[in-house]
Structure 1
Amino acid sequence: MPPLPPSPSRAPVPFLAGVLLSLLAATVSTDAGADAEFARCLDALRAQSSQRGVHTTTFDTHARGLSPDMAVIGFLDAQPEFRTAIWDYLAGLVDAERVADGQAMRAQWADTLAAIEARYRVDAATVVAVWGVESNYGRNFGQRPLLQSLATLSCFGRRQDFFRGEFFTALQIVEQGHVDPERLTGSWAGAFGHTQFMPSTFKRLAVDFDGDGRRDLISSIPDALASTANFLAQAGWQHGQPWGIEVRLPAGFDSARAGRRAKRSVQEWAALGVRRADGSALPAAAERAGLILPAGIDGPAFLTLRNFDALFSYNAAESYALAIAHLADRIDGGAAHFHTPWPTDDPGLSRAERREVQRLLLARGFDIGEVDGMLGTRSRRAIAELQSQLGLEADGRAGQRLLEMLRRQD
């Protein structure tokens, strides 16, 4: 290892200038190398385009001038900064604000949703719940140009073959005129529209429900909602059936029996001592069910049925499927809380409460940026700094206790 340079406070100006110039040169060199590699990769992709169902003129028009967005590689490879507890996850996704908005959207689009339910046999509350979680009812599509993100992921990082398929499919979507290319923005990974379909999912399952000849998940709410219903129907949604049942486990229950895929008949679960959360007997259902314990044996427990599996297929995470299921129940007038509380003495915050935390942090001089209810890196750093000042564990998490403390000091 070379010797360390002098302390910056004592370094002569020429030395500092040399260091800065070296760093700048290295950055420029790295950027130039990525640009050159990206250009070579685009040439190779162009050569494959006709075999992948895309005309070369389409490729040249929409892909030739792209530059790499290397930030998406960081998103692909980065480990999450914080483990999100299930009570934090659901507190932000299934809050009173999103429930009220969902009920308003269901009323506004009642005729369309009724027609969708008649065709695809998926209830309106579930379709609206997916819409609410995926894009906050069309408010948050994602801002990254889809073709740029997918081209970058096709040329760098892991899973290049997968992203190349998505890239060519996105070009097909543009070529076929389903979505205006300038509106094709979305998540860093390529999901887009009101209900965030990947291009390959669009190709398989998107539908033209408004009859204009295009399958447009960005500009057409009927197309987006019907496409979501079609997805769930194809995933095995059972009309009129529940997604699951909150249950109470007997004392000494072996948690090794749990698992969404470890299915037993409802009668078998009953024989093991499982009851509804209110203590009553389980229904006499023929369907097989799995058991999930999102917060372990001490938290809420759920027998999950086929409709939960359909939700899981939309985004392969049990917490996500539970959020959709719970939001749909609440849009339908269900209880705000599960019968069994989460095993924590510091529950999570709704988005309104997160915005309040941000305003209180700003009032204390912390630079956290915009008040948006999204506790991103700057907000978490500020929270961790405040926790450290107060002698608390500096984990950057905001819960009810932190909010109450900020309120008292306001």
Structure 2
Amino acid sequence: MACIVFLFAALLQPAHADAGFQRWIAQFRSTAMQNGISGATYDRAFRGITAPDPEVLEKARYQPEFRAEAWEYFDNRVQQDAIDTGRRLARQWKPWLDRIEQKFGVSRYVLLAIWSIESNYGEVLKNERVMRSLPRSLATLAYGDKRRAKFARQQLIAALKILQSGDIDVGHLTSSWAGAMGHTQFIPTSYQAYAVDMDGDGRRDIWSSVPDALATAANLLRKNGWQSGETWGYETAALPEGRKFPGGNMALSRWASIGVVRANGKAFPRPSDSAELKLPDGRAGPVFLVTRNFKVIKRYNNSDKYAFAVGLLADELAGYGGLVRDWNRPFQRLTYSETEELQKRLGMLGYYDGPIDGKIGSGSREAIRAFQARSGMQQDGHPGKEVLQRLRGQ
């Protein structure tokens, strides 16, 4: 009877409502209830939602083929603003970071790096253009995106269970378009598996409680095998040209014996640890030996580039310094402040209308190409010193 009432109410929505979407919501209600969701919880989650989110469908359908070069990926994540902000937040949240590190055994700097990369230390959560209703986003994907429908239905059930548990109210149950939630961007099923009430208020609130969010990330890493007190990896010296090296894992002492040594000239502090050779930018870029913790970071996001970004940013936050050998970039890199200046000058000339954030995305690249075309330069879109100097002359 309740389902009939809900369907009838849906049919009485304003004319601009999507009737097919409303039917899907009404029909999925029984599936949710079979999975332990109360009718009251379901109705509360979808109250006022009458149509799919068109931006979610647009983002789901538009998957650009562009794949970032190594230098571009890391320049946007391991940069001075992220380092300065992370160090300031490390001081601000020190008492909680002390407790989290003691409880879970995960480096505070790794947690801060994840926080930075996932949500820009929570700044993304304040952006209404990015964050949206989680029930609506997942229902939109389940209804309108065949590729993600199964995933979206599973995550929607998990999201409704989170709402029903009282950890968060429906007004704050927000996510990215794809359903990633809170400061540390957990999907609902991962939240269910790892969420922690670190601040002791009775709710596992990764949206507004920084201790809960960082502890939840730490719990994920610990439960997936994080080795306390160990690093994620080491930068090594350049490999000799023409020489082949074995794949797979070997003890660091064995790697050193065949000529793979640390870039800073120091000895490996734990020579018996096992490590694997990685060349994320080929032999021309920095080379690494990565340990078990590198693989654990990939349980957060199964990408070598992601794990390297977390590890390298964590090392910068901890004060270990940056790379000895830079990425193999075809231009001279700008500093963070110079990149902001580049964006501002492109904006003043009418080429760019995006955020002044020191990060080079597709909008910045297109603006640079347009300026290069107008200036008779090679149209590569690279944010180099030559482009900035030319802009300063305008």
When the two structures are superposed, what TM-score results if normalisation uses the length of structure 1?
Answer: 0.84
Q: How far did residue 223 of structure 1 move?
A: 0.7
1:354 matched to 2:339? The reply is yes
2-structure distance, mates of 1:49, 1:100: 45
1:381–1:344 CA distance, 2 compared to 1 (3 A): closer
In structure 2, the partner of 1:101 is: 85
2-structure distance, mates of 1:345, 1:380: 15
For residue 254 of structure 1, the aligned residue among 244, 257, 264 is 244
Q: How far did residue 33 of structure 1 move?
A: 12
**Preserved contact between residue 80 and residue 336 of structure 2 (Cα < 8 Å):** no
2-structure distance, mates of 1:265, 1:300: 20
Q: Residue type of the partner of 1:37?
A: G
For residue 146 of structure 1, the aligned residue among 131, 134, 140 is 134
For residue 403 of structure 1, the aligned residue among 365, 378, 388 is 388
In structure 1, the partner of 2:234 is: 245
Please report the RMSD computed on the Cα atoms of aligned residues, expressed in angstroms. Answer: 2.3
Moved more, 341-350 or 141-150: 341-350
**Preserved contact between residue 42 and residue 64 of structure 1 (Cα < 8 Å):** no
1:348–1:315 CA distance, 2 compared to 1 (3 A): farther
1:86 matched to 2:70? The reply is yes
1:230-309 equivalences under 5 Å are 230-248=219-237, 249-254=239-244, 257=246, 262-279=248-265, 282=268, 285-309=271-295
Q: Residue type of the partner of 2:326?
A: P
Q: Residue type of the partner of 2:324?
A: H
Moved over 6 A (4+): none
1:138-189 deviations in Å (ceiling 9; x for gaps): 1112422222111111122213111111111111111211112212222111
**Preserved contact between residue 343 and residue 352 of structure 2 (Cα < 8 Å):** no
1:154–1:291 CA distance, 2 compared to 1 (3 A): same
1:218-233 equivalences under 5 Å are 218-233=207-222
Identity score, percent:
40
1:389–1:52 CA distance, 2 compared to 1 (3 A): same
For residue 366 of structure 2, the aligned residue among 373, 378, 381 is 381
1:125–1:77 CA distance, 2 compared to 1 (3 A): same
1:335-366 deviations in Å (ceiling 9; x for gaps): 13x11222224145555333211210122233
1:299–1:176 CA distance, 2 compared to 1 (3 A): same
Q: Residue type of the partner of 1:69?
A: D
User: Greater Rg, structure 1 or structure 2?
Assistant: 1
2-structure distance, mates of 1:74, 1:292: 36
Q: How many residues align?
A: 373
**Preserved contact between residue 92 and residue 351 of structure 1 (Cα < 8 Å):** no
Uncovered stretches (5+) of structure 2, i.e. residues with no partner:
1-14
1-structure distance, mates of 2:389, 2:75: 16
1:334 matched to 2:320? The reply is yes
Q: How far did residue 103 of structure 1 move?
A: 1.1
2-structure distance, mates of 1:333, 1:300: 19
1:29-178 equivalences under 5 Å are 35-63=18-46, 65-66=48-49, 67-80=51-64, 82-141=66-125, 142-157=130-145, 158-178=147-167
**Preserved contact between residue 299 and residue 340 of structure 1 (Cα < 8 Å):** yes
When the two structures are superposed, what TM-score results if normalisation uses the length of structure 2?
Answer: 0.87
Q: How far did residue 208 of structure 1 move?
A: 0.5
Q: Residue type of the partner of 1:38?
A: F
1:64–1:48 CA distance, 2 compared to 1 (3 A): farther
Uncovered stretches (5+) of structure 1, i.e. residues with no partner:
1-31
Q: Residue type of the partner of 2:142?
A: S
